[in-house]
Amino acid sequence: MDLLYTSTRNSQGGVTASQAILTGLAPDGGLYVPERIPKLTIPEKALMNMTYQETAYEVMKLFFTDFTEGELKNCIQKAYDSKFDTEEIVPVKKTNDAYYLELFHGPTIAFKDMALSILPHLMICSAKKNQADKEIVILTATSGDTGKAALSGFAGVAGTRIIVFYPKDGVSPIQKQQMVTQEGANTLVVGIEGNFDQAQTGVKQMFSDQALAQELAAKGFQFSSANSINIGRLIPQVVYYVYAYARMMAQGELSEKEAFHVVVPTGNFGNILAAKYAKEMGIPIGKLICASNENKVLYDFFRTGNYDKNREFILTSSPSMDILVSSNLERLIFEMTGRDDSRDRKLMETLSSQGSYQITPEMKERISDFYGNYASEEETASTIKELYRREGYVLDPHTAVAACVYEKYKNESQDGTKAVIASTASPYKFTRSVMTAIDSSYDCKTDFELVDELEKLSGVEVPQGIEEIRRAEVRHKTTCQVEEMPEVVKGFLGI
């Protein structure tokens, strides 16, 4: 019997994993959730001896039950290979007071690679299984990290094309250079005269444009999304929490079944939800510590039970967490209602009409294993500086938000349980924020000069992903107005 996926807004019916991966969002606007979370039954001893790829197979086979062993192993093998700069794929780095799970050793040096390196392969395989004969066209709007990770994942994958829109003046110089130098005949990168929200809205309009969809279909194309609400992105993220537990036992840092907390710098709520799924599979995770930056909607929500996006949007040094509507939270809301689709739908309707909703005390009770807090910009910078001073270990600003929130948790709770901090980006991706946090006099240097300074200071070699773009040829020079986005897409597809 296959494990089926139903929409958070309609529990009737159910689709297979491959269908859910192919469609992304459910037709009613809800998110696909598995009917139940499967239990991991492998003994700890066996788990400890597994490679990342083997662990990935054991976890994913329980969720993606309509994939054959061969198909799944093939996807895993293509995703987690020498694109990662370490054989371990995700090393666990121990410091004096926490364990950093380094999720940034992939090609674009941010944790999005963990899921976006496998999603294209899962998607192609899903298309074959469902006799979808059209070429898949991935459309993405990005504020920086997702775009490059999606480009890198889909570049050169037969049967797919990828088009990324980014705000022309709204990403960091390194992020921009990463995207405009992207190789691969099936890739297109376009700068928008506008901000991220406008790019995002433009993409959403194309997704819901029926006439455009028909025009595409007639020429053998269909749109799909690499957005973080796709279940094909969420499940691969469960793997590294299982792997972290196994590695820590293997290294003698945890005993069997010993509980540990996880701390996750959060934006769209995908990464921390994956940790919750790992916990439900049977991994002894204690608290799920949700760290926000100054856009602290989630902190307020965990405290008061009121989700309220009616507030100022703040630009911070951790841009991938500058989010007021955390899409994946809906999957947790659905659980909190006791898997009641009509209540979930009503809450989401209230969110879109009023920008806020209130959960009941009974619902709040169901998420008592979550703890939320936030770090201000000053606290984030001083966390980077302090850890560097004490241990020589350099954090990126997103991870620093998590480290700071973990300190706050410990001070409040006096809880000495060990904790794994999800380290979501390499400091090399945000060199300016990182270096000026350590010493403000660095601010006069260029971004690539700062790369070299960071290497001297941290002793960590400049990652391949940065070396490559330093002198790479700019291949994507297209820019356009927001209204021109559909024309640009059609031009690229030759229709």
Ligand X SMILES: *Cc1c(COP(=O)(O)O)cnc(C)c1O
User: Interface with ligand X by CB under 6 A: which residues?
Assistant: 110-112, 145, 228, 265-271, 320-321, 398, 424-425
> Bridge partners of 7?
10, 32
Asked if 101 and 92 touch (Cβ cutoff 8 Å), the reply is yes
CA separation (Å) from 60 to 68, 76, 317?
11, 9, 34
* Closest listed residue to residue 98, CA positions, set 419, 474, 481: 419
CA–CA dist 398, 95 (Å, integer):
17
Q: Which helix (H) or strand (E) holds 316?
A: none
Round the CA-based radius of gyration of the chain to a whole number and report it: 21
SS3 114: helix
Instruction: For residues 475 and 456, give the distance between their C-alpha atoms in angstroms, rounded to a whole number.
Output: 31
Q: Give min distance, CB of 393 to ligand X, in A.
A: 17
| Distance of closest approach, residue 209 Cβ to ligand X, in angstroms | 26
Through-space distance between the first and last CA atoms of the chain, rounded to whole angstroms: 42
- Give CA–CA dist 377/374, Å, rounded: 10
Residue number with CB closer to ligand X (115 or 480): 115
Contact (Cβ atoms closer than 8 angstroms) between residue 212 and residue 11 = no
Amino acid symbol at 272: I
- Count of residues making up the chain: 495
In angstroms, give the least distance from the CB of 318 to ligand X: 7
Strands 479-480 and 356-358: unpaired
Q: Which residues contact 386 (CB under 8 A, 6 or more apart)?
A: none
Joined together, the tokens standing for residue 390 give 């004490």
Catalytic residue among 112, 176, 276, 296: 112
Task: Read off the tokens for 17.
Answer: 């994993």
Identify the bridge partners of residue 136 per DSSP, sorted by sequence position.
160, 222
Q: Is 112 a catalytic residue?
A: yes
Which residues are CB-contacts of 389 (< 8 A; sequence separation ≥ 6)? none
**Closest distance to ligand X from the beta carbon of 262 (Å):** 13
Q: What separation in angstroms does the CA of 407 have from each of 24, 58, 419?
A: 37, 34, 11
Angle at 120 between CA 211 and CA 159, to 5 degrees: 60
Q: Which is nearer to ligand X, 221 or 241 (CB)?
A: 241
Contact yes or no for 332/306 (Cβ under 8 A):
no
Distances (CA, A) of 444 to 133, 317, 457: 53, 18, 17
Q: Which SS3 state, helix, strand or coil, does residue 351 take?
A: helix
Active site residues: 112
